[in-house]
Amino acid sequence: MDLSDLQVTRTTVVASPPEKVYEIISDVTRIGELSPICKSAWWDEGSSPEEGAWFTGHNEAEGREPWDRHCEVVVAEPGRAFGWVVGGKDEGVAEWVYRFRPVDEGTEVEESWQIIRMNERLSALSDEQFEELKRMTESGIEATLANLKGVAES
C-alpha cells in the first residue's frame, strides 16, 4: 500500500470564529467531548499547546484493549492550525492536523490524518486491513467534526 493512499481529510463549517474553534481543539484535555475513540488526553507536566509540547491520549474502541499514545505537537498557530504526530515528529507514524479558515458562516474546519511512515505493526497489515483502518478513521473524523460543531456552536 502506498503511503499517499493512507490519508483522510474532511471539512465542516462551524458557526464560531476561528480563534474559539482553535481553543477547543488545542485544549487536548477536551478531546473526550469530541472524539469517538480518544476518550481523554492530558499534557505532559509543564506542557501546553505549543510546538514541541507532548501529551498522551487514551483510546478505546470496540473489540480492542484500551491503548495510550504519546503525541508531539508539530503545529500550533492560534486561529489557523493545530496538529500532532503520534509517537513524535522524529519517529511517529500518524499525523493529525486541524486547519481553520474564516468564512462568512464562521470557520471552515479541516481535519486530516495521514500515515507519514511505516512501522513494524503497520507493515504487517494486509491491504484489506489498511482499507478498514482508513474507513474507521473516516468515520471517526466525521463524528469528531460533528461533535466539534455542536460544542463550538453551543
Give per-residue pLDDT as tens, 99-152.
Answer: 999 999 999 999 999 999 999 989 899 999 999 999 999 999 999 999 999 999
Please give the model's pTM, rounded to 2 decimal places: 0.95
Q: Output the pLDDT for position 1.
A: 63
Average pLDDT over residues 29-49: 96
Phi, psi of 108 (to 5 degrees): -85, 125
Q: What is the CATH number of domain 3-153?
A: 3.30.530.20
The domain ranges of the chain are 3-153
Q: What is the pLDDT of residues 11-23, one digit of tens each?
A: 999 999 999 999 9
Segment holding 51, helix H or strand E: none
| Residue 86: all three cell numbers together | 503520534
| Residue 101: all three cell numbers together | 479558515
- CB neighbourhood size of 84 (10 A): 29
Distance of alpha carbon 56 from alpha carbon 35, whole angstroms: 14
Question: What DSSP letter does each residue of 54-84 carry, written as one string?
Answer: EEEEEE--TTS--EEEEEEEEEEETTTEEEE
